[in-house]
Amino acid sequence: MPMPDADIHPTATGRALQLVEAHQEPADLIFYAGWFCPFVQRVWIALEEKGIAYQYKEENPYHKDKEFLKVSPKGLVPALVHNDKPIHESLVILEYLEEAFPNAKPLLPKDPYTRSLVRLSIDHTSKSIIPNFFKLLQSQDSSSQNSALSSLYESLQKWTAGMLGGGRGPWWAGEEMTLADLVLMPFIGRLYILEENRAFDLSKTNAKFSAWVKHALAHPSMEQTSSERNYYAQIYNRYLKNKAQSEAAKATRSGGVIP
């Protein structure tokens, strides 16, 4: 039986489609993406912010194409091939881009201590926010949903409390965008799904977080890498019914690690 998620809309739409069309020429860096994937969007935003030339290739991770498995062993997106060498895992790619393109706009501060604070924030996002996000999305009964919702608010509160410079913003670390913002932004772009279906209420977070959300959602590289909402619905409806077959969805169901 074909995997339900293999039938998703085959391309980006809206603003994202324009960006895809502008990145079809061969380049030293090939970016393997799923237009709908929040982990992909992290890398996509970074490439745009840093002004790195890339060739965008749509890769449906549910097809598990054999050639692609040579690039990304678990068949997951995002992946990239730079000067013929493959890398996968969004966070590993993000650190790689910082190091391989030292003349591009940095997304990490210079000072080692501040960099460690940004990495601690990323660690918190990975270990607390994202698992709670998926748990809330996929939980079916109201008791699990309430519990996941509470945990999500708490983890967002903690994230905000870690903002540097007393959280004056507009970004997590202050004046400049860093990976701390970028790793969370795609999930913030999907908060509306939780608002519409899981009673998530942004006003129950705090003023600093709301201000950050508003600012991040309006940021050009966020808007330019986002497709039309109705196409995301086909995918997220499966998560809402807990029938999604992504690695993240499966891990959330089994209590395993989100890859």
Site of tokens 């604070």: 117
Alpha carbon distance 219, 214 (integer Å):
9
Are β-strands 29-33 and 55-58 bridged in parallel, bridged antiparallel, or unpaired?
Answer: parallel
82 counts as binding another protein under rule CB under 8 A: yes
Alpha carbon distance 78, 9 (integer Å):
18
Nearer to another protein, 82 or 190 (CB): 82
Nearer to another protein, 101 or 231 (CB): 101
Region of 9-17, 25-33, 79-87, 184-192 interacting with another protein (CB under 8 A): 79-87
CB of 127 to another protein, least distance (A): 4
116 counts as binding another protein under rule CB under 8 A: yes
DSSP character for 85? E
Angle, CA 90 vertex, CA 169 and CA 35 arms, to 5°: 90
Closest CA to 64 of 74, 79, 54, 56: 74
> Considering only residues 48, 65, 89, 176, which one is a binding residue for another protein as defined by CB under 8 A?
89
190 counts as binding another protein under rule CB under 8 A: no
Residues forming contacts to another protein in the complex (CB under 8 A) are 82, 85, 87-89, 91-93, 95-96, 99-100, 112-113, 115-116, 119-120, 123, 127-128, 131, 251-252, 255-259
